[in-house]
Amino acid sequence: QIYGSGNTLFDRLNHIATHNLFTAVFDQFLKVFARVVVEAKAELEKTFTDLNNHEPHYALFLSFLKLFDYARAETNTLTQKHLDFYYRDILKLKEKPAEPSHAHLLIELAKHVDAHEIKTDELFSAGKDDLGVDVFFANDQNFVANQAKVTDLKTLYRHQDDDLAIDKNRLFASPVANSADGLGEKLTTADQSWQPFFNKIYENGKLTKINMPKAEVGFALASHYLWVAEGNRTISVEFKIKQFLKNLTPFIELAPFIEQPSFKAATEQVFNQQIESFNLNIIDIVVAILTTHNLICLVTTEKGWFEVKPENTSFTTESDALTLEINLSGADPAITPYASKTHGYDFLTNLPMILVKLRHQDNQGYIYSLFQNKVIEEIGLTVNVTGLKSLAVSNDFGSVDTSKPFQPFGALPVAKSALVIGSKEVFQKTLSTATIDIKWQNPPSPYDNKTVNLTIKYLKEGKWDPSGIAARNIKEETFPLSSGLEKPVVNKPDFSEAEFYNTRSKHGFVRLETDTDFGQSAYEQALINYIKKVIDGTATDADKKPTPPVGPFTAELTLDYTTTKQIINLNSNQIEFEKRPAKFFHLTPFGQCEQHSLLNAQKKVFLVPQFNNAEFYIGVTGLKPPQNLALFFQVADGTANPLVEKPKPHIQWSYLSNNEWLNFGTQDVQDSTDGLINSGIITFAMPDKANSTNTLLPTGQHWLRAAVTEKSEAVCKLLTVSAQGLKVSFQNQNNDPSF
């Protein structure tokens, strides 16, 4: 089929225009045909002058053709004469004066000049015409040039068409928009043009590929609660989301990618019928979609980001909440504080982090639409650790090496012999439960089975404070810290080296203290009595040598704990915000930024970054707001899709201020390009709120954004985007009329 298999008129016409049959064989045929048409007249003229052997009848025919030229030329003037008569004699209209030629100039100032005014009608030389007369163009309006330069062009595109269904709602991002692959490869188009909003490849008129890098998008959480070094660690992050399950469209689109059961894309009614037939509910579908390896979970470690295995992540959901659970074993590395040099991304924090990224899979749908427009009210973070061994342990004789068996209370424990256990990891978090686990190599053996109990105390403000926990027999192996856990805790990040208990310690330690000795005195007296009987000869078979008390040996000492839920309020007031214990970030294709209702005009925090259908970013250096910025856009004429009706207005221009996109007012943008349809200049009144210290895009530049919510193909391809554009018009100085 000559028109291909495209669904739309544009696809079918594009198929013809790009098909090899037309671009190769037919193209050559048309070139030959055009040459024949052009040269036929010249060859006919040659027969009049170069040949002298025409037959009489043929010479008569050629004479007729020659004379007919005069009649035809005169006849062809009738239309113009009629129009002249109607417009000039009947309507009495006068001709408009000739339009002067226009041009665009790019002004570049010397490095030592910050700004320079070019006044209206100021002349620019353009050489000489064919008569040798100087040619001048004049500035159309007052213009103040400055040192601003375009230094970066980036594109983000969200595919929303049914073509390439596997890529529907997928995000693409080009760090170098004016390149063939979005990464800097040289352009291959003959005129070196490029689309500002996307880069699509058509084969035989059909869309086959979006030739742009896939966008890296996600969210991150930073909190000292995440500082967990070892053991079996479970981290639960609960997102409170308004009406999380309200919109079914994303679930309908993504359900067909679930392996089991088999869904088919359908209407909402059919989708609900399928769910019912499978004896499922919408929550089951959400969990199935999220557990299809569609997310990448990473944590900060000493050597960089550690990716948690998909099988060690799980999800639960409710109508207004989504919970992510991460499980780390003792074989997994310790989660450490974030360091920009090690982990990249330039997050503004030094807290341990979880980073969740949306995974791109060639055989799976992209789940951005599932999270889009989801507003978070608060985040709850809970940590559970079992088997923590890295403890600062000491007793009455000094620090203890717990990597090998040791005597926690010394060789001969006495009353108030103490074992002191500390952990910066544990006691900088608000705790709901904690348990000390002791595995005895040699269990405690007091003399004559004397009962020895351990009392528990907490270090609070430098003093040992009773815990209120009932004393427990020293022979037990589990010692729950069932009350008073708030006493040794200071809920404040502290990632310094661990310290053993000393006289300067203020908090962060637990003390296990014996309430009595191990019967050493009684043993000594019994031994004396036994020896006397042996010496006196009065000892009988019933008299046994007393067994000495033995201080216990500990084979392993560990600590288990669970934190209370740390509530991260994303709608807190200014005072609470400044004291916030944790931070929530968005990861975008070209940067990242912290999220809180106080940090944006919408007063909302979304689960993932929000994007339009397509966004074109322009990075500018040398700008000193408030200043005007004149950008010259040179378009490749006629490259917009002619079958798409361009919305009015179409392009929304905005500038980046403190990591928030703020729209320009109507009066702040003067657009002579008709929405990137024609070559021209767009002048922006850059306010002083525009800054270059943002992290959403590379810092050190001021950023502008051209965004469209639909019909991104209704703009022309670009050839040039440059700052300091100036429009000038030809000034007639008795120049050659043909100029």
Distance CA 588, CA 217 (A): 5
Tell me whether residue 407 is in a domain: yes
Q: Which of 685, 629, 731 is nearest to 148 (CA)?
A: 629
Tell me whether residue 486 is in a domain: yes
Tell me whether residue 633 is in a domain: yes
Report whether 138 contacts 121 (CB < 8 A). yes
pLDDT score at 417: 93
- Residue whose structure tokens are 């967990």: 228
As a whole number, the mean pLDDT across the chain is 89
**Beta strands at 418-422 and 509-514: parallel, antiparallel or unpaired:** antiparallel
**Beta strands at 304-307 and 206-210: parallel, antiparallel or unpaired:** unpaired
Q: Which of 704, 718, 714, 727 is nearest to 150 (CA)?
A: 704
Distance CA 183, CA 7 (A): 31
pLDDT score at 276: 63
Q: Which of 586, 619, 625 is nearest to 604 (CA)?
A: 586
Q: Assign 389 a pLDDT band (cuts: 50, 70, 90).
A: very high
Q: Which of 375, 370, 170 is nearest to 251 (CA)?
A: 370
Report whether 677 contacts 646 (CB < 8 A). yes
- What is the number of other CB atoms lying within 10 angstroms of the CB of residue 532? 11
Q: Which of 157, 161, 169 is nearest to 198 (CA)?
A: 157
| DSSP E strand stretches across 467-552 | 472-473, 478-480, 509-514
Pick the range with the lowest mean pLDDT from 321-330, 436-445, 505-514, 529-538.
529-538
Q: Which of 205, 172, 206, 178 is nearest to 191 (CA)?
A: 178
Together in a domain, 423 and 368: no
Domain end, chosen from 551, 586, 621, is at 586
Together in a domain, 274 and 153: no
Tell me whether residue 739 is in a domain: no
Q: Assign 210 a pLDDT band (cuts: 50, 70, 90).
A: very high
Evaluate if residue 262 carries a pLDDT over 70.
no
Report whether 717 contacts 614 (CB < 8 A). no
pLDDT in tens, 105-145: 999 999 999 999 999 999 999 999 989 999 999 999 999 99
Distance CA 149, CA 138 (A): 23
Distance CA 702, CA 281 (A): 48
pLDDT score at 539: 76
Per DSSP, 237 falls in state E
- What is the number of other CB atoms lying within 10 angstroms of the CB of residue 594? 18
Query: What are the C-alpha distances in Å from 213 to residues 163, 176, 217, 544?
Result: 18, 10, 12, 85
Evaluate if residue 396 carries a pLDDT over 90.
yes
Phi-psi region of 658 (alpha: psi -120 to 50; beta: other; left: phi over 0): left
Distance CA 602, CA 586 (A): 16
- Residue whose structure tokens are 């729209």: 663
As given in the structure block, the two tokens for residue 250 are 């994303």
154 φ, ψ (degrees, to nearest 5): -135, 155
Report whether 694 contacts 591 (CB < 8 A). yes
Torsion, Cα 8 12 14 15, to 10 degrees, reads 140
Together in a domain, 423 and 553: yes
Evaluate if residue 280 carries a pLDDT over 90.
no
Q: Which of 487, 479, 491, 481 is nearest to 507 (CA)?
A: 487
pLDDT score at 54: 75
Evaluate if residue 453 carries a pLDDT over 90.
yes
Evaluate if residue 1 carries a pLDDT over 60.
no
Phi-psi region of 734 (alpha: psi -120 to 50; beta: other; left: phi over 0): left
pLDDT score at 65: 80
Q: Which of 234, 355, 241, 366 is nearest to 293 (CA)?
A: 366
- Residue whose structure tokens are 């999380």: 244
Distance CA 546, CA 346 (A): 69
Query: End-to-end distance of the chain based on CA atoms, in angstroms?
Result: 49
729: three-class secondary structure by DSSP: strand
Q: What percent of the chain has pLDDT over 90?
A: 64
C-alpha angle 38/44/46, rounded to 5°? 110
| DSSP E strand stretches across 119-264 | 123-128, 134-139, 143-146, 149-158, 171-174, 200-203, 206-210, 218-223, 232-241
Together in a domain, 338 and 444: no
Tell me whether residue 531 is in a domain: yes
Evaluate if residue 312 carries a pLDDT over 60.
yes
Of 529-538, 541-550, 640-649, which has the strongest mean pLDDT?
A: 640-649
As given in the structure block, the two tokens for residue 172 are 């693409």
Tell me whether residue 153 is in a domain: yes
As given in the structure block, the two tokens for residue 32 are 């030959």
Together in a domain, 407 and 526: yes
Together in a domain, 204 and 170: yes
**Cβ burial 59-83 (10 Å sphere, 16+ → b, else e):** eeeeeeeeeeeeeeeeeeeeeeeee
pLDDT score at 526: 81
Tally the domains of the chain.
4
Evaluate if residue 323 carries a pLDDT over 80.
yes
Report whether 584 contacts 570 (CB < 8 A). yes
pLDDT score at 5: 60
Per DSSP, 535 falls in state H
Tell me whether residue 301 is in a domain: yes
pLDDT in tens, 233-259: 999 999 998 877 776 666 666 665 655
Together in a domain, 321 and 352: yes
Together in a domain, 457 and 482: yes
Distance CA 481, CA 465 (A): 13
Evaluate if residue 368 carries a pLDDT over 70.
yes
Together in a domain, 383 and 511: no
Q: Assign 268 a pLDDT band (cuts: 50, 70, 90).
A: low
Range of the domain at 346: 218-388+570-586
Together in a domain, 180 and 222: no
pLDDT score at 23: 63
75: three-class secondary structure by DSSP: helix
Together in a domain, 273 and 361: yes
653 φ, ψ (degrees, to nearest 5): -95, 140
Domain end, chosen from 521, 552, 586, is at 586
Phi-psi region of 700 (alpha: psi -120 to 50; beta: other; left: phi over 0): left
Together in a domain, 262 and 233: yes
Report whether 49 contacts 244 (CB < 8 A). no
pLDDT in tens, 476-491: 999 999 999 999 999 9
Tell me whether residue 48 is in a domain: yes
* Beta-carbon contacts of residue 455 (< 8 Å; ≥ 6 apart): 466, 467, 469, 471, 512, 513, 515
Query: What are the C-alpha distances in Å from 672 to residues 104, 180, 713?
Result: 12, 28, 19
569: three-class secondary structure by DSSP: strand
**Cβ burial 256-293 (10 Å sphere, 16+ → b, else e):** ebbeeeebeeeeeeebeebbeeeeeebeebbebbbebe
pLDDT score at 431: 96
Give the residues across from 516 on adjacent strands: none
Radius of gyration of the chain, Cα coordinates, nearest whole angstrom: 41
DSSP states of 506-517: -SSEEEEEESS-
Residue 435 amino acid letter: T
pLDDT score at 436: 97
As given in the structure block, the two tokens for residue 387 are 């088997």
pTM: 0.84
